[in-house]
Chain A
Amino acid sequence: MHDDVFAPRRGVQMRRMLRQHPGAALGVLFILVLLLASLFAPLPYDPMGIDGGATLRSPGGEHWFGTDGAGGDIFSRVIYAARVDLSLALAGTVLSLVVGVLLGLAASSKGKGSERLVRGLDAFQAFPLLILALALVSLSGNKLYMVVVAIALINVPRFMRLLRSEVLSLRESRFIEAATATGASPRRIIFRHLLPNVWGIVLVQTSLTVANAIVVIASLSFLGIGVSPPTPSWGSMIRDGAGNMSSGEWWIAGFAGLAVVLCVLAFNQLADAIGDRTARTYR
């Protein structure tokens, strides 16, 4: 396409991408609104508060999303939970990204050693990572930073594998050969030639990692690991409402679960959109 020749500024590219992928645009909007609301919006009730006189109210005018078994306002809690859930997910993603990219680059040589490392990663990913992650957080005494480490444990190998395969195939390409032939230093090759070209798929993987992290955090707090009460998190709200599902009070777990689903959808859509964009620019 002729307009790619002029390589428009990133901002323009971003806007065009969002126009072509309305799902991704809606998703980004949703996440932004949710995040801002959780940080700044005045909530109708205290998200940590309980009200013995108003338990298990169904959604309505007074409590938009109803109340839970202790009388907590679901709407306030769902919005407020975005704080801890999204920030943990983003922290875990950043850690996975940094460690994964660095280790991935380090493992991108063609030697026997790096081959073995990848086989080792294969084997590692073959194990029940969720169980390992749960064990890690639980056995370390439920520290929040361990949740971040657990997310990285699951996602670092994915970044490594992705980066390695991409860098290895790029290494074969003409322009890297040309750069090497002109005597560019390895550092220059990595930072000037390799990284800019893998950036697109790294972004895709980053977006998928946020989605995955949100699910991992929800799973952990669903089991009572990680975020501890009374701080509301989507996982623990689903846990609170789990028993009520078979007696008909769907809204306690329902809205929290919906929040998780929408966030995951948003980041998956964003990943799709970036992936499309990347495919068109580089391939």
Chain B
Amino acid sequence: MTLSAMPGLPVRKARKARGPVRLVLERLGFLIAAMFGVVTLSFLLVSVTPGDPARLIAGPMASNSQVEAISQELGLDKPIVERYVDYMGGLLRGDLGESYYSKRPVTTEIFEKLPATLELIILAVLFAAVVGIAFGAIAAYFRGRAPDWISRLFTGVFQAIPDFFLGLLLIYVVFFLLGWAPAPAGQIGFTESTPPKVTGFIPIDALIAGDPALAGSALQHLVLPVLTLGLVYAAYFAKTARATLGRALHSQQVFFARAMGLPERTVLRYALVESRTTIVTYAGVIFASLLGGEAIVERVFAWDGLGAWALQGILRLDVPVVQGMVLIAGAITLITYTLLDIVVGLLDPRIKHA
């Protein structure tokens, strides 16, 4: 999805360093407050809305008494305040409730699905960063000339394609026409079985189990979804990289570096290090927004990850699953942002020493 990577992103500003302990405490406090707010919000959102999960679970043929029985079993007949208190109480004990359908704890399912999503997102962000920064750098360096126009044309087009549609196009071209990628049906082939779980990442687990063929197949299955997300987000990367690098290339320090006779290679590096904090921040923001943002792409490729799991939960009104997803995505996002602040501080001496 191209939702949160559009203009209007939360831009992280360099803040002056205060006492490190106080800073961390403040961050933690804000993190907890934000989580609390989001849990409450998601609870209200999914509890007050008029859809009736019990009726959906019972099916269209069920009698009213059957629906009531299910409603009672799920605790949906209790007043909303009581349900909220129950939910928050469970949350404090690390209990996110059970799925209405699978009857398994939501936390268990989250940890089961998380690796598949993480491997997808991490590879996609890496691909997007490498390709996007390269294109953005070329565009910035040759601003206003042919390479810039070409790069911007690609950027504009890929920014306009919804990721799930791009996924389908890639399936048509790369799988159907060219036959270069395996069928878009999950992490491994139909005839293969998942390796014994160690890390949860199938390619790694397959290697651990001593099955390089399976690991290879798992990697092949990664190609199309990673390419889909990677291309869309590479476009966003390119746009940001072009803007920030363009600014850096016109900065006085770059002019001075040229006036000192440094080779263009070094000059470009000078510009890159000046803009690297912005680009790293952007990578973090994209990583966070991909969590949940890639749900539809997971569905397109029958990827058994967190996003597809949450989508299914939404379509089936499986309230604890939806809340669990919102919560875990929010938590990972906030943790990412906190880590970003630290990394940016390390990369930019002006922040560390200020």
Contact = CB atoms under 8 A, between A and B. Distances in A.
- Contact between A and B in the complex (any CB pair below 8 Å): yes
The DSSP consensus for interface residues of chain B is helix
Interface string B287-321: 01101110110011000000000110011010100
Contacts of A167: none
Given A245-B176, A265-B157, A128 B291 contact: yes
A257 B162 contact: yes
Nearest to A260: B162
Interface in B10-41: 10, 30, 34, 37-38, 41
A122 interface: yes
B183 interface: yes
A243 to B, nearest CB: 10
Interface string B96-133: 00000000000000000000000000000000000000
B325 A223 contact: no
Given A132-B326, A222-B296, A162 B8 contact: yes
Contacts of A18: none
Contact of B34 (A120, A136, A208, A248): A120
A246 B183 contact: yes
Contacts of B300: 242
B185 to A, nearest CB: 9
Contacts of B310: 128, 131
Interface string B197-230: 0000000000000000000000000000000000
Contacts of B49: 136, 139-141
Contacts, number: 177
A265 B296 CA distance: 21
Given A136-B49, A208-B7, A253-B168, A128 B326 contact: yes
Contacts of B172: 245-246, 248, 250, 254
A224 interface: yes
A212 interface: yes
Contacts of A262: 160
Contacts of A138: 51, 314-315, 317
B1 A127 contact: no
B295 A248 contact: no
Contacts of B41: 124
A261 interface: yes
Contacts of A158: 6-8
A219 B175 contact: no
B63 to A, nearest CB: 20
A246 B1 contact: no
State which size class the interface on B falls in.
Answer: 35 or more
Contacts of B289: 128
Interface residues of A, number: 57
Contact of B164 (A129, A238, A248): A238
B69 interface: no
Contacts of B164: 219, 222, 238
B165 A131 contact: no
B263 interface: no
Interface stretch (B72-80, B84-92, B327-335): B327-335
A129 B4 contact: yes
A254 B161 CA distance: 12
A61 B160 CA distance: 30
28 contacts: A120-B37, A124-B37, A126-B10, A126-B333, A128-B295, A128-B329, A131-B329, A132-B45, A135-B322, A135-B326, A139-B51, A139-B314, A205-B8, A208-B6, A212-B2, A218-B165, A223-B299, A238-B165, A238-B168, A241-B168, A253-B165, A254-B172, A261-B162, A264-B160, A265-B156, A265-B157, A265-B160, A269-B156
Given A131-B322, A238-B164, A245-B168, 6 more contacts: A131-B314, A138-B317, A139-B319, A141-B50, A212-B2, A215-B1
Interface of A: 119-132, 134-136, 138-141, 154, 157-159, 161-162, 205, 208, 211-212, 215-216, 218-219, 222-225, 238, 241-242, 245-248, 250, 253-254, 257, 260-262, 264-265, 268-269
